[in-house]
Structure formats: structure tokens, C-alpha cells
Chains A and B, each alone.
Chain A
Amino acid sequence: MRRLFSILLFLIIALASAGLSPHAAVSASPPTATGGEQALAIIVNQSNPVENFSIEELRKIFLGERSHWPNGRRITLVMLDETQPERKAVLRDIYSMSEKDFNNHFIQGVFTGAVFVSPKTLATPAEVRKFVFNVPGAIGYVRVSEVDPSVKVLRVDGRLPEDKDYRFRLAGRIGK
């Protein structure tokens, strides 16, 4: 037993000397302000009857806690990939999670069966728009300048991206 303790003590010291991991440092960094004050539009397929969501409802959808739209369609969440500032803004404002927490949330959610389908990840806003356009149950996000009439923009708490006190912006919230 004493020998076991000494081996484990040595391992603890070795682990402690490794210090903070790089991904922890990244997750602790402040949100990127790339893109200035540009708003993020939450987009759905044009056939989706939903027009407005509260932030809490939106959060449940993005967390995978809701799997179907009111019209019965399965919700398919589409995320931009990790390099995109829009994704960082969504993780900050909707999920309140780091990239690692986001991954863990969906691994665990799919594992427990609580999340029916994990999000799709696409590289560019154009791909997100195209995906949302083609998939009736899709929901995603793009900068407001990337929006075109092929998709529908949702109101969040009754506000559209062009409204002054809209919540989701690349540089952070300006209204609460």
C-alpha cells in the first residue's frame, strides 16, 4: 500500500507539472470581436411556420433539448465550423459554453439518448444557407449581410437583427 501511494504521488506531481492545458487557455479567452457590431441572424427554412422564439426556446433548440418543430418536422441544427467567428458568438450568447463544453454536451446528449440528432457542421455561411434552404427542419445562423430570401430569419424575443436591441452580435450583446 505504501509503495502504491508513493507511485501515485509521483504521478500526481508529474500531472501537476503539466500545468493548464492549451484548450483550457483558449476557452478562458475573451470572445473575439471580429466582425464588429454585425448581427447574427437565426435562419430557418422558408416553409417553417415559426416566426418568433424566446431566447430560452432558442437555447433549448440549440442544446438539442427540443427535437421537433411545432409542425412535426425534425429539427436539424447546423453549425459553422470552429474557425468561424459566428460560431464563437453563438457559443457565447446562446450556449454559454466553450468549444469543449459544446462537444461534451452533444457527445453526452447523444449517448444518453436525450439528443436525437447531433448538429451538422458546415464550413461557410453559403453552405449553411444552402442547407437550411434545402432541409425543411433545419435551423442555423449567418451574419445578417449573408442572408438572402432563400431562408427565413427568425425573430428572437420579437426582435429582428436590424433592430437596435437585438441580442446576437459578433462582438457581443448591446441590449438585454
Chain B
Amino acid sequence: MEHISYIREPLITGEGVTYSQITDEVLKPVEGPPTTKWLIGFAVSFAFFCIWCLAIGDTFWNGIGEWGLNKTVGWAWDITGFVWWVGIGHAGTLISAVLLLFRQNWRNSINRSAEAMTIFAVICAATYIFGHMGRPWLFYWIFPLPNTFGSLWVNFNSPLVWDAFAISTYFTVSLVFWYIGLIPDLASIRDRAKGISQKIYSIASFGWRGTAREWLRFEAVSLILAALATPLVLSVHSIVSSDFATSLIPGWHTTIFPPYFVAGAIFSGFGMVQTLLIIAREALNLKKYITIEHIETMNRILILTGSIVGVAYGTEFFIAWYSGSEYEQYHFFYTRAQGPYWWAWVMMISCNVITPQLLWIKKIRTSIMATWILSIFVNIGMWFERFVIIVLSLHRDFIPSSWAMFYPTMVDMGVFFGSIGLFMTMFLLFIKFAPSIAMAEVKLLLKNGSEQAKKLMHPEEGAHHGAKEGVIIAATTLGIKEKDHE
């Protein structure tokens, strides 16, 4: 089976990249001592993580009253943070599972980090699930448990129960998928490591030897897990959206929520992938593997999903008008844009709908700096989207006497910004102890692009190579692997 391409642009750039060079370069952060950049990053992240510990400790010790919630606004930064993190977790699975099924090989450079991001983001989301409970030590009551009191059952009507199942399934499948993908790379580290770390990596890699049979099974398991994970990409955020959609609060009670939330999740997930990968690419010197091509492709996804989100916003307004419901109309036409939280709505619209449209311009789309800034806007915008949905809907619902404002406390802020610290701490530890790029999969790409295209991209490099026009380099997956094992 041969891929012959005149136009496919190479997914790994740079001159004379060899397989061993890939291994060397990808494993450099793992095997070498921590760099100054990493140490600074870790110190900052860890400081935020400590803030998180303090804030969440205070919440657990004294009660949810430490947050700014009140009798009217029962959820605010907690569930905003939860949905935000779950949304961020979406890109990982989409990249690793859906794109794998669609044979989008460009994903190979970014899937590892994206998957790790998913795992850590879901962990952050889960901290909010426990953290926001009045009595978190009883969290296991969410599951139907055998008990001595007869049929003490959970409420299968409640979307929170669905949530518990959806998130835990998603987390489990993502974790397994991520870890299985890690095994060949962990084995590579093991092979090069010495002493205690060799032992640890040896256990962690489950005795991987890289035989053909193992590779065959690896491929098969990846595909099966990808097939399992793909519906989860759609289900998790649909179910998270049900937390709101099945209620009767104006602004929540909306049938468009499941597709809208999924699109928003992918949007925010890719936003976060962009933010993190651009940093990682710089800090870990992985420019060869994470190329402009990757960034541009992801930007295209951002335009698509951002526009879907924009259409969803418009649809909400239309339906509010069309439904004739007084409360919905008040919510959408008054509270959102003119109420006391109008600025949150403006933030949401400008960061999610307006600024991503700049990515239609190729120059911006292929600019690292512009992309990074826009991706941060996406992260901010998507946080505000959840804030708008949750707080704006709750703070003015049906009976005006109970309308109230929500003001976050220091603890609220500590929990949210601290959770970013928790996430970054886990992510930095991950890139220190495991390859941030799936080496085995990237190696597949090495000879996957067309030299002609490469030359077209960089004519001077092509000349230097001395390659002639029309030379076709054919690469087959199998072929590369065979060579790889030489």
C-alpha cells in the first residue's frame, strides 16, 4: 500500500531528520536535567497548585459558604470551571480517536499532549464535582450502591447521575487510550535508561518488546479504543449540557444545548491545545514536529467550531423570540446584553464569535503569535460562555424578589486559578517524565510527505538537497516500520 503524493506537505520539517534523531530530540526533556524554563514554569504552576490546596482545603473545612454563592445563584464559578475543564478535555479525545479513525496522520505529532491534556482537564473538572458538594465525603452516593436499607436507589431522572456515568466513562477510556499509546514510547525510554528509572519505566511499559505481533495488537487496540472513544466525544458534553437543558430556568431550558455544547467543547479544547502546544513547541524545541501546518489545521477547526457556536448563540435568540415565553425573552433580550452582567456577555461574544473570524486570514492563521493570542481569547471566551449560561440565567430567573448578584470571593478565585496551577503542574510533570510527542507515531510521518512539496515550500532547501523535480518518494507505513527496525 503506497501513498504517492505530489502535493502533500511534509508533517515533519527540517533537514535530514532521522529516526534516532526523533528519539533523541523527543526524549531530551525526559532524559536530561530539567531546563530553567521548565523549572520556572513548574515553580509558578506549583505555587498556584498550593493556592488551590489552600482554597479547596478551606472550602472542605468550613463549607461551601466560603464561596460567593447565595440562595439564588447556587452554582457559579464552580460549575463554570467544571464545564470549562470538561470542554477543554474534548480536544484530546477528538484528536486521538476521531482523527485516528479518519486517518488524519497530522494528528500524530499532537495527540499525546492533547490526550494528556484531556486527562488532566478531566481531573480538574472532577475536583469541581467533589468540591462543589455540600458534603463531599458522601460523593459515592451518586452511584447506585448495594446497601442494607432496601432499595436506596439513585435518581436516574437526574442529569447529575448521567454526568457521573458520562464523566467517569470518559475519563476511564481516555486514560486507557492514552496509556496504551504511551507504552511503546515508555519502552524506548526504558531501553535507554539506567538504574532505578529503568526499573520504573520497565514496569510502566509492561515489558514491551516491539515485536510485530505486539505492534499488530497495539494497532488493533488503538482502533478499538478509538471507536469506543468517538461516541464519548459527543456524549460527554451532550450530557453535561443536560445539566442545564433539562431544567426549567430560562437560559438553561434549551434543546439546542447538546450540539452547541459539543461544538463549544471542541472549540475550547482546540483553543487550549493551541495555547499549550505553542508554548511546548517553543520551550521543548519541537518545531520540527509541531509545524505551522499543524497550527493552521487546528486554526481551521477553530473557525469551524467557533462559527457553529456563533450560530448556536443566534439560534437561542431566535427561539427566545419565537417561543413567546416572557421569561426567555427577558433573559435573552434583556438580562444578557443589558443586565448587570452585560460585560460577561460582551466578553463571550467577542472572544468566541468575533475574534476567531480573524483566522479566515491566512496570514493570521499561520502566525504563531497571532494564533497563540487568539487561542487565549478562545479560552477566556469559553469560560465566559459558561459563566453567562450559569450565572446570568440563575441570577434573574422567575420571581424578581429573589434576584441577586453573584460576587466571587478570594476562595472562588483561588479554586479556579489554583485549578489551572493543578493542571499545569500535572502537565509539566508529564512532559518531564513521559515523551510529550508520540515518538512511535511521529516516526510514521517522517517519510510521509512529498519531497516535491517540501521543495515547493522551501525552494532553497530543495536545491541544497539536490533533489530533482518529479522525484517521488513513496513511503508505506509498513515499509517505514521495517526500516525502523533495522
Please say whether chains A and B are actual partners in one complex. Answer: no
* Chain B residues at the A interface, C-beta cutoff of 8 Å: none
* Chain A residues at the B interface, C-beta cutoff of 8 Å: none
